[in-house]
């Protein structure tokens, strides 16, 4: 069975660079048009256009929809033993009364300030001494509210993983709602990919970031119950001093289906350009929606382009649709690669990464691989076999080939290549299938060649 030959992906607004802990969230979001965009437009995650009215569910569908377990109450969430409840005056002192000079980011949630705490007591410390932290302050007029703030405390207060940002504590005082995180000195992946004044990321660093982000999603999807991140994008991937990736902003995270359930039905929210097409149509959410978003970000890592950019020619505005015709042949991979890499990437490794991304953004969610398989293949890219960089002459040829990408692809070549879907792990199994499985012929043959 072959997947459909075309898919229409939704547009997305622009990104505002320089945000360390962006919280771009929820407001009714009309579908933007190129004429309505300006250079100051920001990308926002929020309430996406409502899906069409669905016919009443059958008894089978009702059975397969999920009834979530009892969720903890607000008092139980805030009583988490791993979090400190800060006084508002403590955080004022830690950030020098939220001094503008300490402002490190701004998003739909509000503003993020750099502060300092004593490592042993977590009391406010003299600026420049102690432990650096990021203090995110809710703006009453922002696009996120108490529900999203509480969701983040709930998830990060009980989930601990090397690839999730660490939540240190919170403050709830009257109208003031704040969150205190570990400080991520390299800020967000978005800044490094789309802010041209920054030093471009090397191929090895891009693979490292992709692997770290995949590990974070894999951990969430295999929690009990599974957690659907729902807002996976470059601006929510934060980087520490060693470029280790950590997922942040869990305001839109949801508990996923359990047992033999297939999905949860929820209000359509997220970020345009990253949300899976079936979720936009139906409001039905499962972990494969996150896999789609991961594929979009993986394409961003390869190309250095944002998911939707109305400043480009019409044929190049949607990243996923633009890359498809260039992946029919591994010899044309250079046409989509980020020119700032200057040809310094292994062609075989780049093609495997692009192939993984293409499977992730399959318009049919049942053909998308689980994150266990995605992670396994990405980890192979870190082996010496796939890290060998081309010679100077090869780099020159790749750079010359990449210049072709400036020409818009023909309109008749937007259909996806006819590849067999990657085999999926059995339901409930977290173990990746072996690379030599015959169902993985397209991946395995190239990985082993």
Structural domain ending residue among the three candidates 148, 166, 182: 182
Judge whether 51 lies within some domain.
Answer: no
Q: Both 239 and 210 in a single domain?
A: yes
What's the angle, vertex CA 191, arms to CA 188 and CA 192, rounded to 5? 100
Cα–Cα distance measured from residue 238 to residue 229, given in angstroms and rounded to the nearest whole number: 15
Residue 129, φ and ψ in degrees, nearest 5: -115, 160
Q: Both 299 and 384 in a single domain?
A: yes
Q: Both 176 and 195 in a single domain?
A: no
Domain harbouring 272, CATH code: 1.10.510.10
For residue 396, what pLDDT is reported? 52
Cα–Cα distance measured from residue 162 to residue 173, given in angstroms and rounded to the nearest whole number: 30
Domain harbouring 109, CATH code: 3.30.200.20
Q: Both 263 and 142 in a single domain?
A: no
Q: Provide the 3-class DSSP secondary structure of residue 39.
A: coil
For residue 157, what pLDDT is reported? 84
137 annotated as a binding-site residue: yes
Structural domain ending residue among the three candidates 142, 159, 182: 182
Judge whether 13 lies within some domain.
Answer: no
Q: Both 155 and 221 in a single domain?
A: no
Domain that residue 352 falls in: 189-448
Which has the closest alpha carbon to 247: 258, 236, 257? 236
Q: Both 323 and 415 in a single domain?
A: yes
Judge whether 5 lies within some domain.
Answer: no
The torsion defined by the Cα of 227, 215, 372 and 319, in degrees rounded to 10, comes to: 90
Judge whether 22 lies within some domain.
Answer: no
Judge whether 287 lies within some domain.
Answer: yes
* Active centre residues (catalytic): 231
Q: Both 356 and 394 in a single domain?
A: yes
Strand runs labelled E in 72-165? 84-85, 103-106, 110-117, 131-138
Q: Both 209 and 237 in a single domain?
A: yes
Cα–Cα distance measured from residue 118 to residue 94, given in angstroms and rounded to the nearest whole number: 10
Cα–Cα distance measured from residue 180 to residue 134, given in angstroms and rounded to the nearest whole number: 6
Structural domain ending residue among the three candidates 151, 182, 213: 182
List Cα–Cα distances, 26 to 45, 142, 248, 406, in angstroms: 6, 9, 16, 35
Residues paired with 46 in a beta bridge: 270
Q: Both 260 and 345 in a single domain?
A: yes
Tokens of 68: 């979530």
* 3-class SS letters over 11-24: CCCCCCCCCCCCCC
For residue 107, what pLDDT is reported? 72
Q: Provide the 3-class DSSP secondary structure of residue 336.
A: coil
Q: Both 369 and 283 in a single domain?
A: yes
Judge whether 82 lies within some domain.
Answer: yes
Phi-psi label, residue 333: left if phi above 0, alpha if psi -120 to 50, beta otherwise: alpha
Q: Both 244 and 331 in a single domain?
A: yes
Judge whether 199 lies within some domain.
Answer: yes
**Count of domains forming the chain:** 2
Beta 84-85 vs 167-173: how paired, if at all?
Answer: parallel
The DSSP output letter for 198 is: S
Q: Both 80 and 211 in a single domain?
A: no
Tokens of 12: 């997305």
End-to-end CA distance of the chain: 26
Tokens of 165: 């940002």
Strand runs labelled E in 183-275? 227-228, 237-239, 245-247, 254-255, 264-265, 269-271
- Structural contact between residues 284 and 222, judged by C-beta atoms closer than 8 angstroms: no
What string of pLDDT tens digits covers the 449 residues of the chain? 444 444 333 334 333 333 333 343 433 333 334 444 444 444 445 555 555 444 454 444 444 444 444 567 776 667 677 899 999 999 999 999 999 999 998 876 788 999 999 998 999 998 888 899 999 998 776 556 777 778 788 888 888 999 999 999 999 888 888 999 999 999 999 999 998 777 999 999 999 999 999 999 999 999 988 999 999 999 999 999 999 999 998 888 888 876 666 678 778 888 889 999 999 999 889 999 999 999 999 999 999 999 999 999 999 999 999 999 999 888 889 999 999 999 999 999 999 999 999 999 999 999 999 999 999 999 999 988 787 777 655 555 555 444 444 433 333 232 333 333 333 333 333 333 333 333 344 455 445 54
Judge whether 108 lies within some domain.
Answer: yes
- Structural contact between residues 270 and 235, judged by C-beta atoms closer than 8 angstroms: no
């Amino acid at each position: 069975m072959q997947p459909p030959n075309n898919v229409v992906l939704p547009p997305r607004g622009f990104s505002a660079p320089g945000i360390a802990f962006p919280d771009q969230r929820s407001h009714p979001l009309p579908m933007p048009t190129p004429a309505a965009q300006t250079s100051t437009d920001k990308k926002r995650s929020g309430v996406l256009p409502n899906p069409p009215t669905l016919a009443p569910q059958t008894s089978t569908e009702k059975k397969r929809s999920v009834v979530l377990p009892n969720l903890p109450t607000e008092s139980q969430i805030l009583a988490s033993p791993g979090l400190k409840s800060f006084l508002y005056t403590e955080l004022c002192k830690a950030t020098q009364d939220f001094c503008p000079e300490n402002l490190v980011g701004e998003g739909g949630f509000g503003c993020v300030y750099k502060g300092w705490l004593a490592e042993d007591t977590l009391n406010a410390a003299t600026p420049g001494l102690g432990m650096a932290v990021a203090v995110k302050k809710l703006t009453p007029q922002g696009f996120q509210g108490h529900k999203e703030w509480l969701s983040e405390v709930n998830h990060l207060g009980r989930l601990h993983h090397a690839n999730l940002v660490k939540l240190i504590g919170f403050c709830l005082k009257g109208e003031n709602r704040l969150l205190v995180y570990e400080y991520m000195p390299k800020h967000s992946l978005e800044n490094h990919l789309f802010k041209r004044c920054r030093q471009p990321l090397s191929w090895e660093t891009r693979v490292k970031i992709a692997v770290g982000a995949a590990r974070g999603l894999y951990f969430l999807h295999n929690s009990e119950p599974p957690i659907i991140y729902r807002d996976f994008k470059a601006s929510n991937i934060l980087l520490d001093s060693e470029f280790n990736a950590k997922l942040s902003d869990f305001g839109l995270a949801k508990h996923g289906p359990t047992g033999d359930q297939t999905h949860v039905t929820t209000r359509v929210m997220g970020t345009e350009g990253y949300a899976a097409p079936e979720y936009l149509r139906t409001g039905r959410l499962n972990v494969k929606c996150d896999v789609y978003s991961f594929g979009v970000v993986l394409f961003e890592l390869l190309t250095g382009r944002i998911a939707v950019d109305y400043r480009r020619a019409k044929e190049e505005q949607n990243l996923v649709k633009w890359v498809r015709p260039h992946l029919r042949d591994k010899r044309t991979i250079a046409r989509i690669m980020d020119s700032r890499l200057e040809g310094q990437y292994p062609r075989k490794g780049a093609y495997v990464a692009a192939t993984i991304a293409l499977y992730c953004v399959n318009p049919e969610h049942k053909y998308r691989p689980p994150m266990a398989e995605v992670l396994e293949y990405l980890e192979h890219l870190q082996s010496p076999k796939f890290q060998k960089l081309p010679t100077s002459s090869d780099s020159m040829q790749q750079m010359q080939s990449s210049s072709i990408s400036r020409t818009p692809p023909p309109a008749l070549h937007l259909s996806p290549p006819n590849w067999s879907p990657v085999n999926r792990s059995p339901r409930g199994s977290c173990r990746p299938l072996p690379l030599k499985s015959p169902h993985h012929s397209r991946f395995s043959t190239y990985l082993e060649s």
